[in-house]
Amino acid sequence: MISTILVSLFAFITSFLCVFTFRPLAIGFGLVDRPCNRKQHNGEIPLVGGLAIYTAIVFSSFLFVNFDSNYKLYLISTSFIVLIGALDDFYDLDAGLRLIAQFLIASLMVFGADMYISNLGDILGSGEVNLGIFGPVFTLLAVVAAINAFNMMDGVDGLVGALSINTFLSIGLLTFLSTTDFQTELPAMFLGAILAFLFFNFGRFKSGKYKVFLGDAGSMMVGLTIIWLLTYATQGEESLMRPVTVVWILAIPLFDMFSVMFRRIMAGYSPLRASRDHIHHIFLFHGVSNTNTTLSIAAISLGFCTIGVISEIYLVPESIMAALFLGVFCAYNLVMMTQDKKIKTLTIA
């Protein structure tokens, strides 16, 4: 426990110092987020949060992690996703090109580390669902989905950070309650590094003088890390949790991504079209402040995480949890479709 706190503290300090170091460099190079129709903030904000978190993770890893081949591949994959994200932050890459890069990076995890989802558990109530030869393909899709789910949530201060903290804390709690030997160094690093970033991101430090954004580099890195951890945690004989628990821990990012894509397709638009139709945009439209939007959505996410953790502790049948999750998603999607009709978010490019 003490070692975990030390790891988190070191990552916090490193990330904190990196924000100070990278911020003026980003301004000089033009790595900033400028206001537009979809991005309604004041002034040009440096996009260095993800770079600061990444640097903190790398330094912390060399000090506190015993490297094996899989962890080396994780750091290589993370480096590539941060590079692609930073290029996207700077040049606004084509969505198709970004998607190809994400699949290539996902293949490092699936085919390089030989880590993929082969078992979905007893989600149908008739025995375990084994994916067989379709496991690697399913995992590639899951990795890309997770990367984009968190990337899509990055539309209001602190939201991706708060959602990821819920996920990392859920993993840590299940590890604490389990006899499984699951290493918590990586979640601890991210907790510390993200908390340092949020200190600047919420704009409370020096009246917002040092405000920074996460950027695509950060949001995509968070998504990749979480799906990497959860894949490892759910597969094999000594798994930390059942696969159905994962969807509850990731409920809000998954709900938002699949609902947005479904609604865009139904409206005749590309699912990759950028528009103000995410859950945080709905909150903002109804007059909720940025901070309260983040806190509200994070609280909902925490509720879903709690359901997932409790169901894992008490081993609620997987088929029941899967059916309940599907029912909640359908209800969520209906609510969002109603909101679309009210505010016509899809008309905003």
Q: Where are the beta strands (DSSP E) in the chain?
A: 32-33, 45-46
Mean pLDDT in residue range 65-74: 92
Is the pLDDT reported for residue 348 higher than 50? Answer: no
Is the pLDDT reported for residue 247 higher than 60? Answer: yes
Mean pLDDT in residue range 113-120: 95
23 Cβ neighbours under 8 A, 6+ residues apart: 46, 48, 210, 212
**293, part of any domain:** no
Mean model confidence pLDDT for the chain: 92
Is the pLDDT reported for residue 273 higher than 90? Answer: no
CA distance 52 to 22: 7
CA distance 141 to 139: 5
Question: Which residue is listed with tokens 């980003």?
Answer: 26
pLDDT of residue 131: 96
Mean pLDDT in residue range 209-218: 93
**88, part of any domain:** yes
**345, part of any domain:** no
The structural domain count of the chain equals 1
Please give the radius of gyration of the chain, using alpha carbons only, rounded to the nearest integer. Answer: 19
**249, part of any domain:** no
Is the pLDDT reported for residue 215 higher than 60? Answer: yes
3-class state of residue 42 by DSSP: coil
**124, part of any domain:** yes
CA distance 161 to 179: 28
* pLDDT band at residue 268 using 50, 70 and 90 as cut-offs: confident
Among 143, 301, 111, 120, residue whose Cα is nearest residue 229: 143
* pLDDT band at residue 275 using 50, 70 and 90 as cut-offs: confident
Among 107, 109, 114, 101, residue whose Cα is nearest residue 73: 109
CA distance 340 to 345: 6
**135, part of any domain:** yes
pLDDT of residue 36: 55
Mean pLDDT in residue range 222-230: 97
* pLDDT band at residue 276 using 50, 70 and 90 as cut-offs: confident
- Lowest-confidence segment of 114-118, 149-153, 203-207, 268-272 by average pLDDT: 203-207
pLDDT of residue 39: 54
The domain in which residue 93 lies consists of: 2-244
**280, part of any domain:** no
pLDDT in tens, 47-57: 999 999 999 99
Mean pLDDT in residue range 319-344: 92
**233, part of any domain:** yes
Dig out the tokens for 138 from the structure.
Answer: 């399913």
pLDDT in tens, 168-182: 999 999 999 988 888
pLDDT of residue 349: 41
